[in-house]
Structure 1
């Protein structure tokens, strides 16, 4: 099989992972062989190590799928910091080689058309947009997921889930949990309301998710929407701190080489939450996390004891979180 490259982009991790499974299945069907899948953490590799990792000789496996998830060098210019020249050269060299049996997949949260590497991928790769589903299509997916478990779900319950703002891994976990609770009867809206996070928390999770990705624009969009809806910044701080505590715990166990299931057992977090934190753990160094927890404490004190404007304090905090040191 000739070398192929795929570029998958979109913020919905569930859709990215399903597309990866589809690609692996196609490779296996075409070759009739088991596919070796390797995940590279490009943020932990320098240019030379990345070059070595991409080299492939089919000595022990005739088919290899290499996946590089959300490397920083596929982002926008202000986040790349002008350090992609070596990476760009590596991929230009890679394209000149005939690595029979190897398929390379790169993923990103967005399709940054000004990024020179993305321009290369647009020319040379199969580009697949894994955009988040709208509420109607998401509701249809929820119905299919319940149906695959032999269950019917009330329209109001499916709509509540679809409009919750939660990612698809969270919703899938909720579907699994609900299926166990209802024991074969139709799923009603009360079943979902009892398990779904409160509406206020769901709104703030959009902000915290953007902050975990260090996406300043998305963070301020979510923040301003919360203000319009009448939410108070002190609540934002409480949920943000809780999310970053979860991030630190997952990052710690991940660096101790614990698997996802072991991290779930150690932390008590839901599997979807652990997956989300693993996706974002590389965005923050330990020094940055330590500084942020100090800033969280200072912000909390200022909220409670100073005359400073709450909105200005929260805006300053958002900038601090999204700014790399």
Structure 2
């Protein structure tokens, strides 16, 4: 079974290196993180000139990769061969290339660390190469972080930087940036570099250092809809309409779809306790009260109608339904009106 990126990073930080790493999956962030760690830490700086080889898939053949892997290190205990963008290796996935790599996997050079950074897709697990990698190499699968797991990830990432973060602030980041992990972690890094002491991050910090308004953001929009606060909801979407680049429609629709889908689950599980309900709808227990109030404010029929409105708005935004050149801001205003009335 493929390993999780977090467990491999922990091993690497403990100076535990393996002969072969095959890093694959839809989320490039974790693949880059592992690759960069090996590139910057497996060898001392003075050993890298002769013992570290960086190759790129589109320019490499399997034969040239393995020739480099079979070299012995010069005046060092190990050498590193990294193949970036390995998904572009022409022979990979073809019988000749796979057989060459399988032969090496069965008998790797112990003094070589060979890394394949295979982004945006995964090998066919039914084929011999994937099976051999799973048995004898470090095979890592880097999945997209589901939106409901973003808040715990943010909390852990902030903690790793020596700080803590309020639940509301965490949710603002998750709902405003989404699961583009490179952007998300870069924004957090940009913020925490301003702190000289351990800090408890709040929505004010996020507004000050990242530029996400603490009053006008996706988190506050869903909250206004939950409480049927018409004035606040309209104020927020008018703010969004003034800068549609910073507040694109598609992520907002995705967030609202998830929000109202959770309300369906709340309706179906109304007898559950707070913690059990939080587990079912996959939110922090802190937010259960908002969802239970929203479930009282919207009938089952209305929630189903809202999900239909969201699908229609999504099709309009993608040009599937004719809109008479309706702008995204107008589509959002019409949608919010339908939801609240």
TM-score (norm 1): 0.49
Answer with 1 or 2: which has the greater Rg: 2
TM-score (norm 2): 0.48
